[in-house]
Amino acid sequence: MDYYEFLETKKKKVIESGFEVDVNELNPMLFDFQKYIVKKSLKAGKYAIFADCGLGKTFMQLEWAKHVSIKTKKPVLILAPLAVSGQTINEGKKFNIHIEKIKSDIYQNGIYITNYEQLDNIDCTIFSGIVLDESSILKNFTGKYKNKIINSFRTTPYKLACTATPSPNDLNEIGNHSQFLDILDAQDMRSKWFVRDEGMNNYRIKGHAKKDFYAWVSSWASMITKPSDIGYNDNGFILPKLHQIQHEITTDLKLGQGYLFNHMAVNATNFNQELRYTQEKRLQKVVELCESNEGQIIVWIKQNIEGDWLRKKLKDCREVKGSDSTDYKEKTLLAFANNEFRILITKAKIAQFGMNFQNCNTQIFPSLDFSFESYYQQIRRSYRFGQKNEVFIHLIKTDTMENVKK
């Protein structure tokens, strides 16, 4: 027994640094599974909520932030993607939780929110708690935001990371969350549970370590796709049917056979060339689909020239571009969520994270992408818990993309 007790001392354990709250102190509008997660994350002090789209991460993070601010008598900061701040403030009003946008260097107790892009302009030391909304920004282990975030909040006593898509196969993302939360350095995590195969960043979990690794992750994170994953009822959280419909456009270009595109190799340059060659026929199909479908529609484009073309052809549409001001982006995305216009034209990097567009059940993709995560996130802007209607995803491809050489 002495030997087994010795082995127990060698296990990596998370030290809880938070505080207990009675479930009756939590917002009664929370679902039971949400109360369980909020209570657990407050007790841990530093925690991650990996909950699928529409499970109420915003409500949970706001309730967490409110209690941390009350407990510490200091302000709590939420960092969010561009244009999500306004939607979060509106969500807070539904739950009687007040959130303010950062406008000065003078803070009272309470919850404040700003975009990740404003991080350099904030004195992070005054906050007792930090919430990362869409914390998958930590995915890029060499990214400037990841390093800036970890360093800026190294001494912050309360931390919460929230995202819907932490890939179990993406060790950088799991490791960087662990490092941000002061659980275990990302490199130490890889050394403990993984071996490196041939290649710079090609790791696989050790055969005997799988159970121990996921037990460790579950000690500092809740990962759920539906309430029943943690023992609660799924009533109200069953999604309607999802339809993914492919439309093939016939082109006159036959520059090569047996390849994904009409070129010898597929790369970023070839991809954009292909989009230009087939632009008019693809976008004309978008117009047809917009005219034949009712209600709100999102059109996900890849190039600015596609947006220019569509704006001339479509009625009651607005485009959100990277060059637009932050204020315009936020106001336009919120206007679409409020049904103030019918067709939103934008790109994945602008609106794929954080926005709630359950008011829309039709999306059109005239330009295929190589990123599954982006595609998943784009669909989940509409196909999320709270969506009442069946969702229709229209994928436009060309005949030049039929024969993929493996």
Does residue 170 share a domain with residue 311?
no
Residue 46, domain CATH: 3.40.50.10810
Other Cβ atoms less than 10 A from the Cβ of 226: the count is: 18
What DSSP state is assigned to residue 57? H
Q: How many residues make up the chain in this entry?
A: 406
The DSSP string of 381-404 is TTSSTT--S-EEEEEEEEGGGS--
Identify the pLDDT of residue 249: 84
d(CA 159, CA 143): 20
Does residue 197 share a domain with residue 83?
yes
Identify the pLDDT of residue 31: 95
Identify the pLDDT of residue 265: 45
Helices (H) and strands (E) in the chain, counts: 14, 15
Q: Is residue 265 part of a domain?
A: yes
Please identify, among 196, 230, 264, the residue that sits at the C-terminal boundary of a domain: 230
Contact call for residues 166 and 376 (beta carbons, < 8 A): no
Tokens matching residue 255: 């520059």
Q: What are phi and psi of 112, to 5 degrees?
A: -125, 150
Please identify, among 230, 265, 285, the residue that sits at the C-terminal boundary of a domain: 230
Does residue 151 share a domain with residue 296?
no
pLDDT-flagged residues of the chain (< 70): 1, 4, 6-16, 104-106, 140-143, 165-170, 199-201, 252-272, 369-370, 400-406
Which of helix, strand or coil describes residue 26?
A: coil
d(CA 380, CA 357): 9
The total domain count for the chain is 2
Identify the pLDDT of residue 13: 54
Q: Is residue 236 part of a domain?
A: no
Q: Express each pLDDT in 139-196 by its tens digit.
A: 764 567 788 899 999 999 999 999 986 655 567 788 889 999 999 998 899 889 988 8
Does residue 268 share a domain with residue 209?
no
Does residue 85 share a domain with residue 203?
yes
Q: Is residue 246 part of a domain?
A: yes
Q: What are phi and psi of 84, to 5 degrees?
A: -85, -25
Does residue 197 share a domain with residue 136?
yes
Q: Is residue 235 part of a domain?
A: no
Which of helix, strand or coil describes residue 22?
A: coil
Identify the pLDDT of residue 403: 45
Does residue 223 share a domain with residue 268?
no
Does residue 346 share a domain with residue 197?
no
Does residue 258 share a domain with residue 395?
yes
Residue 344, domain CATH: 3.40.50.300
Compute the C-alpha angle 202/204/209, nearest 5°. 155
For 376, the domain range is 242-401
Does residue 249 share a domain with residue 223?
no
Does residue 127 share a domain with residue 106?
yes
